[in-house]
Each structure stands twice: as structure tokens, then as C-alpha cells.
Structure 1
Amino acid sequence: MNADKACGLDVDSEYVELAVEVFAMLADATRVRLILALRDGEMSVNELAETVGKPQSAVSQHLAKMRMARMVSTRHEGTRVFYRLENEHARQLVADAIFQAEHTLGGTPRHHHVQAEGGAA
């Protein structure tokens, strides 16, 4: 929490509206699944479509929006396009959102069990 203030993250920060746009971009289950799929490294559109169980055309449209929002970047290899997360922040936002969702179920969230066992959440 103190790190937030040290970084200049105040209620009147110029970045608040941009942060809202980030949350809006992540307010889609397919995009959240794409970020989860990309957390371990780059994947092609076809691999991503298979992983998230959506048509390749729909995945391509989501990835295009995420690319414009600078959440993902691409690498071309011949005719194939590989996507990767632009940085760790979208991955961390999604992880934190899922951790928060686990709290809504009651009991001790799964990520707290991992922390208690000495692992990282």
C-alpha cells in the first residue's frame, strides 16, 4: 500500500481514467483466458484458439484489441503470428482478480493454502 503512494498513485492521478480502460479491456472472459494462456510464453493464434475453446477469428479479434491496448505484442515467423504478453502487469491483474474472486466463495481461498505451504501465490 505504501508503495502505491510512493509511486504517485493518488485518487486524482492522471492515470485513473487509463486504468479504467485497462479494466474495461479485461472485462471479457475470453481476454482473461488469453492472458492466462500467455502467462508462460508466446503462442500462435491457432494454439490460443484451441486453448480457450473459441474460433480462431474471434480470438484474432480479441488479440487485435489487446494489441492496440499494448497488452500483447507479436512476433512473425513466416506466415504464423505468435503473441506474447507485453509485460507482467496484465498477468498480475488477472491473477489478482482471480484471487479476489476466490475470496467470494467463502472459506480459505486456494491461493492462501499455497502461501501457507511456503509457495508463492
Structure 2
Amino acid sequence: MTHVVTEACIRCRYTDCVDVCPTDAFRGGRNMLVIHPDDCIDCAVCVPECPVDAIFFDADVPSTQRRFIPINAELSEDWPVITRSVAALPDADDWATVGDKAGELDRRAPDPKTTP
């Protein structure tokens, strides 16, 4: 079992959760974070830190967000580990309350010059 970052993180990429993770399970993409399922120890300390409520225990992921379970597993293999918080995306607050933004997910590996 693991925790999963869901659609609410897309185009926000708040990193408050990263600072509290004891196992460095977070990976940073261009416009979202994901959790590596093998590194997550299910401590749940990240859940209350997320300002957009994007993190769920995998068994509790809402049915409309279940597609993010394999997305986290897949992208966490390609994206770099992020171990400290960085500034959210410039327009994160504008996207924080937007729903149905899965199409906005940028799956490309981050640019090394701008990697969080």
C-alpha cells in the first residue's frame, strides 16, 4: 500500500508535503508531484500538508481519481527525487480550485535547469 498524488496537484505543485516525508518518496515533475510506491511507508504525514487535498491512501483514492495510482507508479520511475520544498508554480493559486485538469498533466521529465 502507498499514498497517491491525484489530479488536484496538476498545475499547482505545492511542495509542503515534501519537507515532512521521512523517506524522500516524492518525485517532482514539470507541473505535478508523484509518490514512488516503493519508497512510501504510509506514514500519512504528507496528507495534511497538501493545501489542495491531492494526497490519498491508495485504498481511499476517490473512484474518479483511481487512474492516478498507476500514473504515480509510472512517473515516479522517470522523475527526480525532490527532498525539499520549492516555490509552487507561478499560477498555482489560479489552478488550485480547478477541477478536471488531468489533460494538463505534463508527463515529460523535468528540465534539469528548472528541476525542483
Does the alignment reach a TM-score above 0.5? Answer: no
Q: Under a length normalisation based on structure 1, what TM-score does the superposition of the two structures give?
A: 0.28
- Structure with greater helix percent: 1
* Bigger RCO (CA 8 Å, 6+ sep): 2
Q: Larger radius of gyration, structure 1 or 2?
A: 1
Length-normalised TM-score, structure 2: 0.28
